[in-house]
Chains A and B, each alone.
Chain A
């Protein structure tokens, strides 16, 4: 891999060269092989394929958009830097989701250590104590269906963000990202049985929190 000296040397995301058109049909492994060989446009293709998925996944994990974008970029930086050591044992999506998961979980643990006083923290569930509903559903009729939908989505996102991290990651991967149990197990580096068990527990937690919307 060649050494970059300026931003302009990375041309992905701007004018798409002719070579990129041919690379669109390449597999993730082939694109990473090309990246390893110094082809920056191949890496641009990889970024284009996964930037929205990774940003969305990390956002569902952290419930913080700016932080999610930052961590998604860090995910791609790590992929780029570790391209030399990448092994094609598993799918590239498993590999990049594993990096993103590790980053997201690290961030969640950092937040827990910092013990930030959150304005919504009083309404989140803690050990052995039932959470109070921060934004309870309005019993009155809502005229705007869009507003109802927005409010419901926000409640679901908040409910997910209150789940313990070991339940949150498999639930998001399964019910939001639509991954298979096998792939989730590989991403989280655990057994398939553990994944199924955690997803079931996570759904149980969510059912209690979102009972008003079911």
Chain B
């Protein structure tokens, strides 16, 4: 038996137990292991001499009171609280979810009045500084009111221009254009300089067709430089073409950190 095996046996020796014959023989020839054995035995006697500690005489009485208090509080506590106390992780997750939901609802409630105020402001600004097209140039140089498309009597086929402001996620009702065409006797196209506005503050998309004669200069409204403008051209004979105008990017917008498409804008403008 080597020293390591002997020392393992000494360590694992039960209190009052005897070493094996091999370990005993090794101890007789190995003084280091012999002193290790004596030292370990002395240490175990020393630790074992600590003796038992007794519970105080009022241990049972205090325990009874404690049990009764625990049972009373457990019966008074609601099942939900008991459940949350037993699973604190679920409680924390639920509280976090409520917090996030509350934050989202708050943001939405805060955003809706802003959009309404913006719409109100835009409506108030329209007559003042809107680039308005109220007339349609006739080929003869006459200027006539631009009534509903169907009522316009053109000798030459006019071009019906529908201006759509595209907004991500908004689906346009195709009937809406017809209704607006019928109602808006003199369609007003307002160009608001909304370049400084965030994209989400753009007014709801609208669709208002108007007539324009061929080769006439037509001003199109720009409500936001951040959004593309789609122009639909209809020659009233079934041919239809849609042109998308890319947004215009200004340097100040870049400073504001807005992620706008710069496609088609020369790099050396600024």
Q: Which of B12, B39, B71 gathers most chain A CB within 10 Å? A: B71
Please tell me if A207 contacts chain B, counting CB pairs below 8 Å.
Answer: yes
- Nearest neighbor of B65 in chain A, beta-carbon distance: A7
- Segment at the interface with B among A74-82, A90-98, A102-110: A74-82
A6 to B69, CA, bound (A): 8
- Nearest neighbor of A58 in chain B, beta-carbon distance: B53
- Nearest neighbor of A14 in chain B, beta-carbon distance: B60
Interface Cβ pair total, 8 Å cutoff: 110
Please tell me if B1 contacts chain A, counting CB pairs below 8 Å.
Answer: no
Please tell me if A124 contacts chain B, counting CB pairs below 8 Å.
Answer: no
Q: Which residues of B contact A52 (CB under 8 A)?
A: 52-55
Please tell me if B217 contacts chain A, counting CB pairs below 8 Å.
Answer: no
For B, the interface residue count at a CB cutoff of 8 angstroms equals: 34
Q: Given A47-B63, A203-B43, does the pair A153, B51 have CB atoms closer than 8 Å?
A: yes
Q: Given A3-B75, A214-B46, does the pair A199, B67 have CB atoms closer than 8 Å?
A: no
Q: Out of A47, A73, A156, A171, which one reaches B49, CB within 8 Å?
A: A156
Q: Given A51-B55, A203-B40, A207-B43, does the pair A176, B12 have CB atoms closer than 8 Å?
A: no
Q: Out of B15, B42, B53, B71, which one reaches A178, CB within 8 Å?
A: B15
Please tell me if A26 contacts chain B, counting CB pairs below 8 Å.
Answer: no
A153 pairs with B63, CB closer than 8 A: no
A189 to B40, CA, bound (A): 26
A181 to B44, CA, bound (A): 15
A3 to B72, CA, bound (A): 9
B55 pairs with A153, CB closer than 8 A: no
Q: Given A4-B67, A52-B53, A153-B50, does the pair A214, B59 have CB atoms closer than 8 Å?
A: no
Q: Which of B122-177 contact A (CB under 8 A)?
A: none
Closest beta carbon of chain A to B8's beta carbon, Å? 8
Please tell me if A18 contacts chain B, counting CB pairs below 8 Å.
Answer: no
Closest beta carbon of chain B to A4's beta carbon, Å? 4
Q: Which of B28-85 contact A (CB under 8 A)?
A: 39-40, 42-44, 46-56, 59-68, 70-72, 74-75
Q: Which residues of B contact A68 (CB under 8 A)?
A: 53
Q: Which of B89-118 contact A (CB under 8 A)?
A: none
Please tell me if B11 contacts chain A, counting CB pairs below 8 Å.
Answer: yes
A52 to B42, CA, bound (A): 26
Q: Out of A10, A152, A160, which one reaches B67, CB within 8 Å?
A: A10
Q: Out of B40, B43, B64, which one reaches A7, CB within 8 Å?
A: B64
Q: Given A3-B75, A171-B47, A206-B47, does the pair A13, B64 have CB atoms closer than 8 Å?
A: yes
Q: Given A10-B64, A55-B54, does the pair A81, B48 have CB atoms closer than 8 Å?
A: no
Q: Which of A59-88 contact B (CB under 8 A)?
A: 59-60, 65, 68-69, 72-74, 76-77, 80-81
- Nearest neighbor of B74 in chain A, beta-carbon distance: A81
A3 to B47, CA, bound (A): 43
Q: Which residues of B contact A214 (CB under 8 A)?
A: 39, 42-43, 46
Q: Out of B48, B52, B56, which one reaches A69, CB within 8 Å?
A: B56
A13 to B51, CA, bound (A): 24
Using a CB–CB cutoff of 8 Å, the interface residues on chain A facing chain B are: 3-7, 9-10, 12-14, 44, 47, 51-53, 55-56, 59-60, 65, 68-69, 72-74, 76-77, 80-81, 149, 152-153, 156-157, 160, 171, 175-176, 178, 181, 196, 199-200, 203, 206-207, 210, 213-214
A-B contact pairs, 9 of them (CB 8 A): A7-B65, A12-B64, A52-B54, A74-B66, A196-B11, A196-B12, A203-B44, A206-B43, A214-B43
- 8 more A-B residue pairs beyond the given contacts A60-B50, A152-B49, A210-B46, with a C-beta to C-beta distance below 8 A: A3-B71, A5-B68, A9-B68, A13-B63, A52-B52, A56-B54, A68-B53, A178-B15
